[in-house]
Amino acid sequence: MTTTESRTLTYAEAVREALSQAMEADERVFLLGEDVGTYGGAFGVTGDLVHRFGEERVRDTPISELGIVGAAVGAALAGMRPIVEIQFSDFTAQAMDQIVNQAAKIHFMLGGAATVPMVLRAPGGSGTGAAAQHSQSLEAWFAHVPGLKVVMPATAADAKGLLLAAIDDPNPVIVLEHKLLYKQSGVVPQSPARVRLGETAVRRDGTDLTIVATGVMVSRALEAAEQLAATGIEAAVLDPRTLRPLDSKTIVDSVTATGRALLVQEAPKTGGFMAEVSAAIVESPAFGHLTAPVTRLCGLDVPIPYAPQLEKAAVPQTEDIVKAATGLVNQW
């Protein structure tokens, strides 16, 4: 098999392969986090990397997110390229001072004299019965902070390619992986091919409306688009992939062509990232081409419930996207 060939991997395997290839290519790259070593990570993502690269480069840490990220910031300033794993993205709340006030700011406060080339990986989202403190979608927190780049891969190939690009970046990148995607499979290049940060992917072409979705909502939007096509509605599906910097031009071009925009996110509606996408559309020339109000379909403004039925009801499902899209097209 040549290095240009592709094969099917799970999303988790694709992340692990990116970590492995980055560590093979650069001795400055190392991993740290709770249970990333012998245990293989809370979701098994780091797997056997400790046996391949040793405990110096795959470091188990105490249960202290603030300390973990602080150590990564220091190591990055000293010339290393640390990759932090936070077991659940909810736990980043413990480390926000280091993320927001240190990692994101140092490059600018020192006039560009220092860089902080660290990556923070964290799984988020609902659907695993992990309840309110382990199921949140917090991307809007990080996308709001100048100095941070924020990535939400929705496919196995992007999980690898975006992570490799994040590791190359000279300043901090937050990679938000969705727990439900870890076991999903897709075609992944064997080569260490990068997916450039800041490029929206067009997952499906369409003429009647544009659906913009992130994370696990991308696959649900694609399922919805197939069902809509059976009723004569052709929906384009766009996946921003990088929330900051956001490639709004690709979104604006699509909405300009279709005249309708349905914005889908798992996070609660109030203050969510899709409000930013909505603003990008209405502040652009696409506004003059709209035949319908820009519409958001989001999670409910509630903590994620533990009960499976309530957990499912709290976030958009495929049938909800079909219903919202159909209403948008038929009403306008």
Q: Which residues are tagged catalytic? A: 65, 134
- Nearest by Cα to 26 from 71, 83, 72: 83
- Which structure tokens are listed for 32? 């740290």
- What are the angstrom distances between the C-alpha of 137 and each of 105, 142, 145, 205? 23, 11, 16, 27
How many residues belong to the chain? 332
d(CA 226, CA 233): 9
Vertex 40: Cα angle to 150 and 149 (nearest 5):
10
DSSP 164-232: HHHHHSSS-EEEEEEGGGTT-EEEEESS-----TT--EEEE--SSEEEEE-TTHHHHHHHHHHHHHTTT
309: CB partners within 8 A, 6+ apart: none
- The distance between the two most distant Cα atoms of the chain, rounded to a whole number of Å, is 60
Alpha-carbon span 293 to 282, nearest angstrom: 10
DSSP state of 304: P
Measured CA to CA, the distance from residue 299 to residue 312 in angstroms comes to: 10
Helix/strand/coil (H/E/C) assignment for every residue in 218-234: HHHHHHHHHHHHCCCCC
Which DSSP state fits 255?
H
**Strand 173-178 vs strand 149-151: parallel, antiparallel, or unpaired?**
parallel
Distance, in Å, from the CA atom of 25 to the CA atom of 168, rounded to the nearest integer, reads 11
Give the C-alpha separation, 141 to 273, whole Å.
9
